[in-house]
Every structure is written in structure tokens, then in C-alpha cells.
């Protein structure tokens, strides 16, 4: 490929990348000018979606909560503020479609799939992660004691029936019933008991686990959740404050760049554009030395002059699949929705005096 072909290929790639960034901006409202509104609807740019879907999207992107936590609705149900008939109507209206086989026979009892759905809505039948199973079963007594939210009438009925059918279980009917239920469930599903042969809980080796050949695995692939960036996924899993640290520095640079005469000392090199000005000044920013990143000054010097190339390089090095770039970048923008919305507004209004003199756009911000 000659130089001309390479340049044409880059132009095509950068055009595609800018289109991806434009699409990623759509859920982020353009917050500006502030003098024309008193509040802003965070899902205004999701109005083309059904309400429940818009709330779901806003929750993934912005952390917006359109509904109360499900635990609070369950408390309302137990308190009688939500009736059983209302719960059943809601399940029929927004629940999953009925399967072809909706009824099963369990001994002398007929069980409908809607019974299971109703129990799940009221009490929660949550998936137990495999890594927590041994701990939950053994240390939290999942197979020895009833859940605290089990209705007293159900508790009494189960205990009375257990004692009638097994006189030896009288001393601890709860444990006997749950133990038999656990064994029966394993038998029906043709599963082995994960507690078989264990006498106590053993924490995993923090240095890594050995595989069948005795060698430690060098890499464990992680499927990044679709509504998370690598940074906020790490924050959630490890308790770090990576996103807060990044946002603090981004606010410092953006605030200095978009200043319109309020600051007593204007940021240098703004006429070169946000990315170029930041790249030029960041090398001399002494506060960056406290981030704990080795050779930071050298790394700044190695950055590309092109924000398109820099953004593309980052995404590729993070192994983000190209088909997920748009959603990934949307989540990044949503981590500072006010500033990102203002930057979007500036880039959409090229005639705005400040934008003419000191251009900034979402792609430069993301790079």
C-alpha cells in the first residue's frame, strides 16, 4: 500500500470513527445554554424508545433510577400496599410470555409457571454465582435455616408436616426439611453435591489457582458487561476510585479550556483545539505525578497528534470489539454527562464565538 492509499484508508477510518462518536453522543443531552432552562430531563434523548426501555437505557448509561429498588416493592407487598391481584396483573401485563408447557405435576400438586413467577416477584429467586455457592451453602446456612422473609404461615405448615412425616426430625425440622429439599433438587437435576467431601470452607489461593497439569493459569478472560467501561467495572469489582480520579482531572482540564473570561488566567494554546492544548500542557502538569503511573511524562510525549488515532488505539489496546465501540463510548460520556453534554452542544454549534476560537468536540474529549 503506497502513501496515498494509506492516507485514504486513514480518512475513511477516521470518518467511520467520528460517525461512531456522533452516535455515542445521542443519549447525552446537550446541556446549554444554561440561561434558557431550569432543569433537564435526563432521558429526553431517549424519547424514541418505549418508557420502560428508555428507563433501562438511562440506568445503564447514567445510573438514573426510574423505579424504586425491587426490595422496596417487595416490602410494599408484605405490608399490603401492593395487593396480590395487582402483582398478578403486572405479571400478566409485562411478564414473559407463557411457555408451551405452562403446567407441571409435582406429586399430587399441580404447579403453574405463573406461580413460580409470582413467588420470584414477591421473594426473589436469584442466581447464586458458582464462586459463592460453597460459602453460601456452608457458612450462611442456606440448607439449614429458612429465609427470614418466609411467611410465618408457610413456616409453620412446613414444620408441622415435616414432624408428622419424620418423628426423628422433631429436634430440628428446618434443617431436616431443607437438607431433604437440597438432596431432592440435586437428584432431579442429576447434579453432584458441591459440598460432598468438604468439612470446612477454604478460601481460594489469592496468587492464582492451578490447572489440571499443576500449572497456574496465566490469563482468565473476562466478559465485560455491556453497560460498563473497564474503569467503572474495576471500581465495582475492586472498590477502587479510578473513575473518580479520571473525572477529577477531566473537570480540571475542561473547565480551564471552556472558560469564557471568568478565570483570571487563561489556559494557553486553546486556539489549537482541546486535545492539542491538553497534550501540550499535560507534560508539565506536576499534579499528574501523584497518579502513580511510572514514566508519565514520557508517555505524554509519545501520544499521537491525532485524537482519532489516539482514541482508536486506546479502544484496540483495551480489546473492546468494534461492534461495541458505540455503547462503550456512550458509557464513557455518561460518566460526566453535564460536561459531555456541554461539549456536544459546542460541537453542534460551530458558529458559537467561543467554539470558533477554541474548538472542542466529543472525540477530542474521549481521546
Walking along the chain (367 residues) 10 residues at a time, the average pLDDT comes out as: 51 83 86 64 76 80 80 91 93 85 81 87 80 74 81 88 86 88 83 62 43 46 72 86 91 92 86 93 79 80 89 91 91 89 91 93 93
| The pLDDT of residue 150 | 82
Distance CA 73, CA 321 (A): 38
Residue 210 DSSP label? B
- The number of CA neighbours under 13 Å toward the Cβ of 216 is 7
| The pLDDT of residue 186 | 83
Distance CA 168, CA 224 (A): 50
**318 in Cβ contact with 326 (< 8 Å):** no
In DSSP terms, 216 is beta-bridged to 210
Distance CA 28, CA 41 (A): 11
| The pLDDT of residue 203 | 39
In the block, which residue shows the cell 492539542? 276
- Torsion angle, alpha carbons of 276, 281, 283, 288, to 10: -110
Distance CA 342, CA 30 (A): 6
In DSSP terms, 106 is beta-bridged to 109
Q: Which residues contact 252 (CB under 8 A, 6 or more apart)?
A: none
| Cα 188 to the center of its chain, rounded Å | 35
Distance CA 57, CA 43 (A): 9
Distance CA 251, CA 247 (A): 6
| Cα 367 to the center of its chain, rounded Å | 22
Residue 112 DSSP label? E
Which segments of 166-257 does DSSP mark as H helices, in order?
A: 173-188, 230-238, 242-257
Tell if the pTM clears 0.75, that is, is over it. no
Amino acid at each position: 500500500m503506497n502513501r496515498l492509499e494509506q492516507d485514504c484508508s486513514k480518512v475513511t477510518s477516521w470518518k467511520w470513527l467520528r460517525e461512531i462518536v456522533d452516535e455515542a453522543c445521542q443519549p447525552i443531552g446537550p446541556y446549554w445554554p444554561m440561561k434558557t432552562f431550569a432543569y433537564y430531563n435526563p432521558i429526553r434523548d431517549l424519547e424514541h424508545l418505549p418508557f420502560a426501555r428508555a428507563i433501562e437505557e438511562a440506568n445503564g448509561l447514567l445510573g438514573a433510577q426510574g423505579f424504586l429498588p425491587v426490595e422496596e416493592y417487595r416490602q410494599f407487598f408484605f405490608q399490603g400496599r401492593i395487593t396480590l391481584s395487582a402483582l398478578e396483573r403486572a405479571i400478566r401485563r409485562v411478564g414473559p410470555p407463557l411457555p408451551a408447557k405452562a403446567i407441571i405435576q409435582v406429586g399430587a400438586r399441580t404447579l403453574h409457571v405463573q406461580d413460580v413467577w409470582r413467588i420470584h416477584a414477591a421473594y426473589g429467586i436469584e442466581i447464586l454465582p458458582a464462586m459463592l455457592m460453597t460459602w453460601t451453602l456452608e457458612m450462611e446456612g442456606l440448607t439449614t435455616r429458612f429465609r427470614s422473609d418466609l411467611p410465618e404461615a408457610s413456616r409453620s405448615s412446613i414444620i408441622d408436616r415435616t414432624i408428622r412425616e419424620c418423628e426423628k426430625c422433631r429436634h430440628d425440622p428446618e434443617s431436616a426439611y431443607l437438607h431433604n429439599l437440597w438432596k431432592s433438587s440435586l437428584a432431579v437435576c442429576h447434579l453432584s453435591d458441591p459440598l460432598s467431601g468438604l468439612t470446612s470452607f477454604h478460601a481460594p489461593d489469592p496468587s492464582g489457582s492451578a490447572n489440571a497439569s499443576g500449572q497456574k493459569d496465566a490469563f482468565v478472560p473476562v466478559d465485560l458487561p455491556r453497560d460498563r467501561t473497564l474503569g467503572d467495572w474495576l471500581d465495582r469489582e475492586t472498590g477502587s476510585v479510578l473513575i473518580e480520579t479520571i473525572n477529577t482531572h477531566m473537570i480540571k482540564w475542561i473547565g480551564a479550556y471552556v472558560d469564557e473570561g471568568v478565570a483570571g488566567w487563561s489556559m494557553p494554546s486553546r486556539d489549537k483545539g482541546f486535545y492539542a492544548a491538553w497534550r501540550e500542557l499535560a507534560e508539565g502538569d506536576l499534579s499528574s505525578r501523584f497518579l502513580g503511573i511510572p514514566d508519565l511524562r514520557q508517555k505524554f510525549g509519545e501520544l499521537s497528534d491525532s485524537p482519532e488515532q489516539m482514541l482508536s488505539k486506546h479502544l484496540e489496546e483495551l480489546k473492546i470489539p468494534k461492534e461495541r465501540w458505540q455503547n462503550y463510548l456512550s458509557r464513557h460520556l455518561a460518566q460526566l454527562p453535564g460536561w459531555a453534554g456541554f461539549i456536544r452542544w459546542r460541537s453542534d454549534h460551530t458558529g458559537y464565538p467561543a467554539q470558533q476560537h477554541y474548538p472542542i468536540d466529543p472525540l477530542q474529549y474521549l481521546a
